[in-house]
A and B are shown apart, each in its own frame.
Chain A
Amino acid sequence: MSVEERDRYTGHMTTGHSWNGITELNSRVPRLWYICFAIAFLFSVAYWVLMPAWPGMESHTQGLLGFDQKKVVKQQRIEAEQNTAMWRDQITNTSLSELADNAEVMTLVRRAGPALFEDNCAGCHGDLGQGATNYPSLNDDAWLWGNEPESIYKTLQHGINSGHSQARIAQMPAFGNSGLLDSESIHDVALYVQSLSNPLIGNGSNVSELLQVNNGKSVYQAQCVACHGSNGQGNPLFGAPNLTDTHWIYGYPLKTLIETIVAGRAGQMPYWEDRLDDNLLKILSLYVPTLSEDAEIHHSDDRTKTDNS
């Protein structure tokens, strides 16, 4: 240990350590650093006092501001509800059919609907409600349970085959797997179902086909009329689809129809009453029927384009 002395070049003291004549300066902590340190220290003291900070044996210190992020979120949502109280009250207290006639409400529905639909429905039904294999389209005129806002509202609330106690139940029996029909009858009835929407099938040009379709028709009359109706027009009471139109949930090819009849179908739609509040369900119920109107507008646009070109 040598003696601390003042360095003659910088004016600072040295530590007194010397290695081969090289001495170490004992310079001050830079002032800016020291100030920042002091500010940070003061900030943390203030923070401990104002905000929840220190753990104790029973609980933690709550802070003078009583800050709680959970409360903040709750408050923000209350404020959001107050900002929309005008139309919320209107939607809560008015029946769906009256709301559907109210142009002001429908403007709101068309504004709020797309985001709600995108977040919750588009995964299955497509972003424009166009549907996909296994998932019904919502932008056409084919409806399993009816397209009145009330029916859609009930479907949204409780779902279809969803496990909810009030869910809509739609179950097509597995005619093949349960042994109700043999494979020939299944083939023929599938062909008959195809013929309902395709006049080219069973029109008499092919005699064996005509015989099969006729046999299919009698199988249909025995097994299928209860739900799908005597003419194949479907029944919204059971969610039984219309078989005479060109809209198909699972597909129109003979192979798919046979699969459907062999194994049955029980499409599932989740229930939303736990997930979305009642006003939002009502908005969606009003928005969904507008999808087909929008689709029509798109179609007519297309037609105008073709006409012009």
Chain B
Amino acid sequence: MIFGLHSKVEKNSIALVLAIVLVSGVGGIIEIAPLFTIDNTVETAPDMRVYTPLELAGRHIYMREGCYACHSQMIRTLRDEVDRYGPFSLAVESKYDHPMLWGSKRTGPDLARVGNKYSDQWQTQHLTNPREVVKSSIMPAYPWLNTNELDTGDLSGHLRANASVGVPYSQEMIANASNDALAQASPDSLDTAALLERYGKATTVRVFDTNPDKVTEMDALVAYLQILGRLTDAANSDDSNVEGGS
């Protein structure tokens, strides 16, 4: 019987070590093997674009303020979620997210496809005081984002760090990260042409926080929120996916 084998193995140290190696080896294979075939489970998205420095800075503010604690960025493969939020999230959509912000709990709604759902003005007003636009909201207010000037000093470093884990930022993008961040929120800036050259014509250049006088953290966060779900069109074009819901 199996219990007889067990009593023999536990009394023989070499046999016990071999048995431990065998069992944990099986566990290891089950955990590691999917990585060899990961290409089969991640969809392709040739149109995928990277976050601009301003959007990346906004992403850092999103993390700093703990937005992920109440908002997920993951539309699950459930009908009610697809009905409410749009096509379910694909793995490839988080390709350049380091770290990913899928979240596992919702106090507020999912934000995976919130980009372009509201105007910049609404986002700014809502972050400054949520009750001003949604009376019943329980979200905290973040008024300091309007006054904190955006610190772009460390953006080159952030781009380099992302590049080292596979995000295709070029040397030129890394070197100009700070200028590009400021240019994206300053439509009249001389650096705008270079920004569009580097990140593509579809990059949105505008004043995001309704205040053209300075580039604030609000600019960065709204720029980030407005790009959520819009880095690639893969979710709409994927054969296995369904059309956007209500």
Contact = CB atoms under 8 A, between A and B. Distances in A.
Contacts of A29: 3
Contacts of B243: 277
B82 A77 contact: yes
B245 A57 contact: no
Given A270-B116, A270-B117, A55 B82 contact: no
Contact of B37 (A56, A120, A268): A56
A70 B33 contact: no
A124 B119 contact: yes
Nearest to A60: B37
Contacts of B33: 55-56
Residue picked from B36, B119, B204, B240, most chain A C-beta under 10 Å = B119
Interface residues of A, number: 39
A58 interface: yes
A239 B41 CA distance: 48
16 contacts: A55-B34, A56-B33, A60-B41, A69-B77, A70-B241, A73-B82, A73-B242, A76-B79, A122-B134, A123-B126, A123-B134, A132-B132, A132-B133, A134-B122, A163-B116, A275-B113
A51 B78 CA distance: 18
Interface residues of B, number: 39
Interface in B115-134: 116-122, 125-126, 132-134
A104 interface: no
Contacts of B122: 123-124, 134-135
B165 to A, nearest CB: 23
A269 B117 CA distance: 9
A74 B30 CA distance: 29
A74 B242 contact: yes
Given A55-B33, A132-B133, A280-B246, A60 B40 contact: yes
B36 A134 contact: no
Contact of A59 (B37, B86, B132): B37
Given A124-B119, A268-B121, 14 more contacts: A55-B36, A56-B33, A58-B37, A69-B77, A70-B240, A70-B241, A76-B79, A77-B242, A119-B246, A120-B117, A132-B133, A274-B236, A275-B113, A280-B246
B119 A270 contact: yes
A58 B33 CA distance: 11
Nearest to A271: B116
Interface of B: 3, 30, 33-34, 36-37, 40-41, 77-79, 82-84, 86, 88, 113, 116-122, 125-126, 132-135, 204, 236, 240-246
Nearest to A268: B119
B244 A77 contact: no
A68 B113 CA distance: 23
Interface string A255-279: 0000000000001111100111100
B83 to A, nearest CB: 8
A1 B63 CA distance: 61
Contacts of A123: 118, 122, 126, 133-134
Contact of B244 (A68, A119, A135, A277): A277
- Top 6 closest A-B pairs, CB basis? A268-B119, A55-B33, A69-B77, A76-B79, A55-B34, A74-B242
A73 B78 contact: yes
A36 interface: no
A275 B86 contact: yes
A58 B242 contact: no
B130 to A, nearest CB: 10
